[in-house]
């Protein structure tokens, strides 16, 4: 209790320190206003997380830094956010590094890599960024490799991506052949050996494309976000989880000149707010996905299945081949991939030994639900 009292007192003192002493000071302290846009549609949890980050920056800075957070398409198309930030059309934004994979294949390693990579989850990825040399590689990727004048930080948990939504049930890896599915970035290359035809389209165009028959299957984020976008109105067979993007973290990007123009304390506030926003997105996603998963089945008539192990194993095998090929062709891909391998080699096996498997106690308390989720259709039982 003493700690909390001291913390509250410190926060109050900090807030008081930010209040101008008089009219002259008020005239001198003009709020800095910046425009940020996401690559994701209005009404989605991803866009909400950018808004949450913006509100944190505003409150933590005492109003000195105010961020206007706009949805996809407000000023530029979803896939053009990074270039717009580079050109100062936007001051900053929220996007996914995978959208830059066409400029350099190493982009897929910053957030949405298949397999983790190397079995890493989202916490491991963030650990690699801040404790394994990843942040320096991240900045170098944008500044030197694809020559974009931006600064990037990981922000917003997008979850373990589902295999996707399908018109008809999927039996195994071979059964993906001939299906026209929405996949982005390096994921398209990972699924190519299955015979799947991949289509790269922004999130906001997925449902309309499904309605028009441009695609007959798609993946995006997870139960809550997929439901919010209306996937269940087009497809009724939902498969999860998957290994093609098992631990996706998106990114916050700021124009390099804008970043340099900010005082050190405002830079730290923005950076700290990305961590808080990411944590918020993780805890919200767990609860929201549980609720959405139940509604999809009980209200929307969706059949939810566990992805066959055959598919997940083949995704990893396909990714290993893609990564090997890219490492031979792209020195920077290899540099980042080797760094991730070195970090994962230390952390992943150790966590396996230190931590109790998540499903151990779950199977004790929820055997019915766990059994159904493992065997096929996911149970909606709350017992």
43-98 tens-digit pLDDT: 999 999 999 999 999 999 999 999 999 999 999 999 999 999 999 999 999 999 98
Q: What is the pLDDT of residue 106?
A: 97
Distance CA 183, CA 49 (A): 23
Distance CA 54, CA 251 (A): 14
Please count the CA atoms within 13 angstroms of the CA of 204 that sit on its side-chain side: 16
Q: What is the pLDDT of residue 220?
A: 92
**198 and 185 Cβ atoms separated by less than 8 Å:** no
**Phi and psi torsions of 77, nearest 5°:** -65, 160
Distance CA 325, CA 257 (A): 36
Q: What is the pLDDT of residue 368?
A: 84
Q: What is the pLDDT of residue 5?
A: 32
Q: What is the pLDDT of residue 372?
A: 60
**Phi and psi torsions of 304, nearest 5°:** -105, 125
- Tokens standing for residue 317: 């095998």
Task: Work out the angle between the directed axes of helices 309-329 and 331-354 (0-180°, nearest 10).
Answer: 140
Question: How do 164-166 and 217-218 pair as beta strands?
Answer: antiparallel
Tell me how far apart the 2 most distant CA atoms of the chain are, in Å. 72
What predicted TM-score, i.e. pTM, was given to this entire model?
Answer: 0.87
293-313 tens-digit pLDDT: 999 999 999 999 999 999 999
Give the chain's residues under pLDDT 70. 1-28, 371-383
Closest CA to 78 of 96, 92, 91: 96
């Amino acid at each position: 209790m003493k700690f909390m009292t001291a913390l509250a007192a410190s926060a109050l003192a900090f807030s008081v320190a930010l209040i101008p002493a008089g009219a002259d000071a008020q005239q001198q302290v003009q709020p800095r206003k910046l425009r940020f846009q996401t690559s994701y549609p209005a009404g989605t949890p991803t866009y909400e997380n950018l808004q949450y980050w913006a509100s944190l920056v505003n409150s933590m800075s005492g109003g000195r830094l105010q961020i206007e957070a706009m949805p996809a398409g407000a000023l530029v198309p979803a896939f053009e956010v990074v270039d717009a930030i580079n050109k100062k059309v936007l001051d900053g934004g929220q996007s996914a590094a995978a959208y830059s994979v066409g400029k350099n294949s190493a982009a897929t390693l910053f957030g949405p890599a298949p397999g983790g990579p190397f079995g890493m989850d989202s916490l491991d990825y963030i650990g690699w960024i801040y404790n394994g040399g990843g942040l320096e590689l991240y900045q170098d990727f944008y500044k030197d490799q694809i020559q974009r004048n931006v600064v990037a930080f990981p922000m917003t948990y997008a979850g373990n991506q589902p295999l996707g939504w399908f018109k008809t049930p999927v039996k195994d890896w071979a059964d993906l052949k001939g299906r026209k599915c929405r996949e982005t970035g390096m994921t398209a290359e990972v699924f190519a050996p299955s015979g799947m035809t991949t289509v790269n389209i922004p999130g906001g165009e997925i449902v309309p494309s499904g309605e028009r028959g441009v695609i007959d299957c798609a993946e995006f984020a997870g139960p809550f976000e997929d439901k919010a976008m209306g996937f269940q109105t087009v497809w009724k067979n939902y498969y999860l989880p998957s290994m093609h993007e098992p631990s996706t973290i998106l990114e916050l990007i700021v124009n390099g000149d804008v970043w340099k123009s900010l005082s050190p304390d405002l830079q730290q506030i923005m950076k700290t707010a990305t961590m808080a926003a990411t944590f918020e997105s993780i805890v919200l996603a767990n609860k929201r996905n549980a609720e959405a998963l139940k509604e999809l089945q009980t209200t929307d008539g969706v059949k939810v299945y566990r992805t066959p192990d055959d598919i997940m194993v083949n995704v990893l095998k396909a990714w290993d081949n893609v990564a090997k090929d890219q490492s031979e062709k792209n020195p920077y891909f290899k540099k980042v991939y080797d760094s991730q391998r070195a970090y994962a080699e230390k952390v992943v096996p150790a966590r396996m030994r230190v931590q109790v498997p998540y499903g151990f106690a779950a199977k004790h308390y929820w055997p019915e639900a766990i059994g159904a989720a493992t065997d096929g259709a996911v149970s909606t039982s709350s017992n």
